[in-house]
Structure 1
Amino acid sequence: MIRSHRVKGFRARYGASPLHLLLVLCSFFLALYAGVRLLKGDPLGVALWFVGAALLHDLVLLPLYTAADRLLQTAFRHRRHTTGPPRPPTGGINYLRVPAFVSLLLLVVWYPLVLDRVPEFSLYTGLPSGVFWGRWLLITAGLFAASAVCLAVARWRAHTARRRTADATEPT
């Protein structure tokens, strides 16, 4: 009883469970350890890389993917009813955003292998250098297929919920 009251008080002050705080602190310590190990080699090169990555992201990539997102939102926006208050857009665009983000992240991380920039890397992977492009495409197709299934399930559940609500409100 007293322990659960303490945890509830901690949760009310902190905003999450003590396990969350422990995991956040562990992640900070892991990042600190990685930063110290990383800066042992070439601190100036690492600092330049971080500044360059931040500038590339903020000045080039952020405007590009914001414009692409706005374009997708306008392309897939549902026609609104002219009567009644304006409704917020549905979250269907997220079923395109998430697989696209994961696919592009995989491409950015593994682009030397995917685009066959390092042919001698097959000694380390044990795979021929030409297989990564096809595998990345298969992973991308799988991500979009899984997202389409999730969208279909979400639409089906929303449809059945609307039908139940309509059935419950109809007078018998």
Structure 2
Amino acid sequence: MGDLGARFRAAYGAPLGQLLLLAGSFAVTGWVVLRLAGEPAAGRMLIWFVGAAIAHDLVLFPIYGLTDRAARRVLGSRAVPASGPAPLNHVRVPALASGLLFLVYLPGILRLGRPAYLAASGQDQRPFLTRWLLATAVLFLISGAGYALRRWWARRR
């Protein structure tokens, strides 16, 4: 089995698990496309999806790429040390999660569509910003505690 796996990896360039995960992702994507094909708003969803992909690739990716490069330059060799935990990863993960939460709840955080939200839910959008800031603080707090714990454990060894 090991020889077969090694030959497959040499021919494909990655382990079999990656191919299975990729095939599963395409299957789920195909199922979603088939479900949306009959929807009246499918055209608008497609435009939104393509626009989001373009905005990510042309706007967001360069921004967080440059931010990561600047953080590496500021931290220097401490960004990814030879031993012990990498502090940069403990900033990246909560920042990514916070950014994703911001994008998902952007209309509520910026209070866009206030009348429609009030009519649909009977609630106000005021708590969105406070809750997003609280969630961001908790994410960074958990990550900081995890970093401190990993650093303590590395020193103890």
TM-score in terms of structure 2 length = 0.74
Pairing of 1:89-108 with structure 2 (within 5 A): 89-90=80-81, 91-108=86-103
TM-score in terms of structure 1 length = 0.68
Change (3 A) 1:139 1:37: same
Give the structure with higher Rg (CA).
Answer: 1
Task: Work out the CA distance in 2 between the residues paired with 1:69 and 1:59.
Answer: 16
Residue deviations 1:63-110 (CA, integer Å, cap 9, x gap): 11111111111222247xxxxxxxx83321010010000001011011
1:28 deviates by 3.6
Amino acid at match of 2:134: L
Amino acid at match of 1:56: A
The higher-RCO structure (CA 8 Å, 6+ apart) is: 2
2:140 counterpart residue number? 144
Pairing of 1:120-135 with structure 2 (within 5 A): 120-135=116-131
Bigger drift between 112-121 and 46-55 goes to 46-55
Task: Work out the CA distance in 2 between the residues paired with 1:66 and 1:24.
Answer: 25
1:123 deviates by 4.4
Task: Give yes or no for the alignment of 1:34 onto 2:25.
Answer: no
1:67 counterpart residue number? 66
Residue 157 of structure 1 is aligned with which of 130, 153, 157? Answer: 153
How well do the aligned residues superpose, as a CA RMSD in angstroms?
2.9
The number of aligned residues is 144
Residue deviations 1:21-66 (CA, integer Å, cap 9, x gap): 4x76555433222112223334543443333222222222111111
Q: Post-superposition, which runs of at least 4 consecutive aligned residues in structure 1 deviate over 6 A?
A: 8-12
Amino acid at match of 1:49: W
Gaps of 5+ in 2: 10-14
Kept after mapping to 2: 8 A contact 1:107/1:114: yes
Kept after mapping to 2: 8 A contact 1:39/1:46: no
2:111 counterpart residue number? 116
SS state at 1:92 partner: coil
